[in-house]
Structure 1
Amino acid sequence: MPQKLILIIDDDSRNIFALKAVLKAKGFDCLSALSAQEGFSILEKHSNVAIVLMDMMMPDMDGYQAIATMKKSAKMQDIPVLAVTAQAMVGDKERCLSAGASGYVSKPINVDELLMQIENFTK
């Protein structure tokens, strides 16, 4: 079975480092991008990305705009996106899901919850 490839899009390299460490320890291969645009070019090159972990609060293009762009692209629209955000206020989860995210994980990340969601969306 081919390895599930996870793309992490986050403007904070410390978040990417921490997520990659956890996911690699669990046997996942990870790619990362520091911006949505960089993430899109990775998705263009790698057709085997199983899921995108998208930081919702980024400069230039935020996660909401990035998900909307992905949903309009024939190549990217079927890739599940997990919204990863420090915004954990009432309504934020719903806002992420209505923007097109498949799931939602708030920071600080609960690793078990993250892994469960990744498994759910990459079956």
Structure 2
Amino acid sequence: MPETIIRKVREQRNYTQEFVAKQMGISQNAYSKIENGYTQLTVRHIKDLSKILEVSIMELLRDDFEIHRPNNIQKESVNKENLLMSLDKISDKINSKHPQKHDFYPIVMSLLQTIDTTVDNIH
């Protein structure tokens, strides 16, 4: 996640949150929210951070995570009712979580959008 990379680079440079925030023209509290993922990064934030931290924009936006193939992929066919029940259970779990407190929330949402698009293309 970009927030994690931003924090790592800032710490490598021995910059405080206060220093970076001042350079960006925002409060330390506002900057802390960026690093903790409570404030969504804007293009302006990325440009400023790239300049302040002396790293490329691409370095700040790179993904350090991999999605691994699950070990227990079901190989037999699944009927529609079982699939819908499983999706309901997953939906309930997701809805019970606070999205800003989980790093993987955007990944889960992206996967669900991919599933939605795939289902739309099934005949």
TM-score range, shorter chain: under 0.3
| TM-score of the pair, normalised by structure 2 | 0.21
Q: Which structure has the highest helix share of the two?
A: 2
When normalised by structure 1's length, the TM-score is 0.21
- If asked which structure has higher relative contact order (CA below 8 Å, sep 6+), I would say 2
